[in-house]
Amino acid sequence: MRYALDAIRRRPGRSALTALGIGLAVGLVVILLAISAGIQTSSSELATASGVDLIAASPNTTLIGNSLPPVDHAHALASEIPAAIPNVAVASPWLIGDLVYGNASLYADVNSSAVPGGWSLTESGSVGWIPSDNSGIQTPDITNGSGFTAPGDPHYANGTYRGPATHEIVLDQGLASVLGVTVGSIVWAAPAAPGPGGTLAGWYQNATPFRIVGVSGPFWLVPSALLGFLYLSEMQELEGGASSSTDYASLILIHLTDPTQASADQTKIEVHFPDLTVFTLADILGEIQHVVNLYRTFGVLIGAIGLVVAALFATTVLQMSVDDRSRELALLRAIGYSRARVALFVVEESVLLAGFGFAIGLPIAYAGAYGLNLILLRLVPGLPTSFAFVSFDPGVILAGIGLIVAIGLVAAVAPAARAMQLPVAEELRAP
């Protein structure tokens, strides 16, 4: 190793560039591995913490699809599923869609025919649910206000849809900020913005006013930057689907008393309710892993190109080093060093250069991954503070070390062979 260090010190510029090239290539791959590890780990932790052990959907739903065909008779399923499957603690129907919101300021300006330029309605993701029937399932934290006041879903009224409408709504902080409203304010909601030829005044006449009873923090379970939450029956009515014959939701979120029995309960639910498709937490995490693996494959291909270039660069530099020291190596052979020992000197130099590259590349990878994590967290709102897009777990570090050793060994093959085959007599006679 002392001989290898001496060889590197004698050519500091060339050695530094070689180590930097190796470090950048390995750092790129380490970043890609850290991202895949971070997304996988954080997704698993969030899914487990959500309290959702099973998700029931319509038979035409897939985990990779963008649409959620309706699940009929949603209110009834909230009680029928726990009654049929004793291990089901809660079956909570959620209707997920988009609504258009308008605030009182815009309403007042519409009536005075003086709408400021650039003012318009706001389209936002919305959730209709039964607020009191989500025990054990993670729901958004109310940061201001008392939240929903009525238990159950009063307007549903056992399927008649003739019960009192609460006209209560909870907005997340993002939507409340965009609309410029607080607890106690009134917002208007409708399923769509004014169509061709429509007016804001006409939209407000047909929209439904809601009183804000709470402002919540961001909610990662529904991937939307702006969210509104209201009673299931009232959202169904807004969308025009409030009837005992449909009574639809998008999903049924199921919390189990004993989550270790999820697979068995999945089968039982599908047997008792053949119109449902049920996914376990493992199914969801498996789909997330599939997506992560797909992106990681492309990343590894890009990283592999960088590693090949780094290995070729290191090979070229080591070949030059062997040629520069050919007389020294021949002298070592002449005084009794074996071919294998001379080749080992070259391998040691290569591995040492790769090690210096790792020492350069790991801090670069960490700093780059940390910066990328901050950027992604800003681009994806609603994630909890514990979520991280990158993770430098032991597996990532070991993978980086393995890559460094591989580069060092591969880059040394041709130069070591060259050193072993040097003609001793000719090199010693050379001027």
Residue-wise pLDDT for 10-31, tens only, equals 676 777 777 787 788 888 888 8
Determine which of 8-17, 44-53, 140-149, 277-286 has the lowest per-residue pLDDT on average.
Answer: 8-17
Q: Environment class of residue 13 by beta-carbon count within 10 Å: exposed (0-12), middle (13-18) or buried (19+)?
A: exposed
The pLDDT, as a whole number, for residue 396 is 79
Distance CA 205, CA 214 (A): 25
The pLDDT, as a whole number, for residue 233 is 95
Distance CA 90, CA 136 (A): 8
Distance CA 236, CA 228 (A): 14
Where does the pLDDT of residue 354 fall: very low under 50, low under 70, confident under 90, or very high at 90 and above?
Answer: confident
pTM of the model: 0.72
Distance CA 25, CA 305 (A): 9
Task: Look at 345 and 122; give whichever has higher pLDDT.
Answer: 122
Q: Round the CA-based radius of gyration of the chain to a whole number and report it.
A: 32
Task: Look at 340 and 205; give whichever has higher pLDDT.
Answer: 205
- Looking only at the bridges linking them, the beta strands covering 122-129 and 227-231 are parallel
Q: How far apart are the first and last CA of the chain?
A: 29
Distance CA 128, CA 237 (A): 10
Distance CA 65, CA 97 (A): 15
pLDDT digits (tens, 9 = 90+) for 409-424: 787 778 777 777 766 5
The mean per-residue pLDDT over the stretch 42-55 comes to: 81
Q: What is the DSSP letter of 191?
A: S
Q: Which of 210, 121, 223 is nearest to 171 (CA)?
A: 210
Q: Is the pLDDT of residue 427 over 60?
A: no
- Reported for 293-299, long-range contacts at CB under 8 A and 24+ positions apart, including other chains, are 293/36, 295/36, 296/32, 296/33, 296/36, 299/32, 299/35, 299/36
The pLDDT, as a whole number, for residue 296 is 65
Q: Environment class of residue 388 by beta-carbon count within 10 Å: exposed (0-12), middle (13-18) or buried (19+)?
A: buried
Structure token pair of residue 149: 């006041």
Where does the pLDDT of residue 114 fall: very low under 50, low under 70, confident under 90, or very high at 90 and above?
Answer: low
The pLDDT, as a whole number, for residue 3 is 59
Determine which of 34-43, 97-106, 268-277 has the lowest per-residue pLDDT on average.
Answer: 34-43
Are 121 and 193 within 8 A, CB to CB? yes
The pLDDT, as a whole number, for residue 176 is 93
The pLDDT, as a whole number, for residue 161 is 92
pLDDT digits (tens, 9 = 90+) for 216-250: 987 877 766 789 999 999 999 998 877 878 899 99
The pLDDT, as a whole number, for residue 333 is 67
As beta bridge partners, residue 228 has 126, 171
pLDDT digits (tens, 9 = 90+) for 289-318: 666 666 667 766 776 777 787 778 778 877
What percent of the chain is helix, strand and coil (3-state, nearest 5)? 55, 15, 30
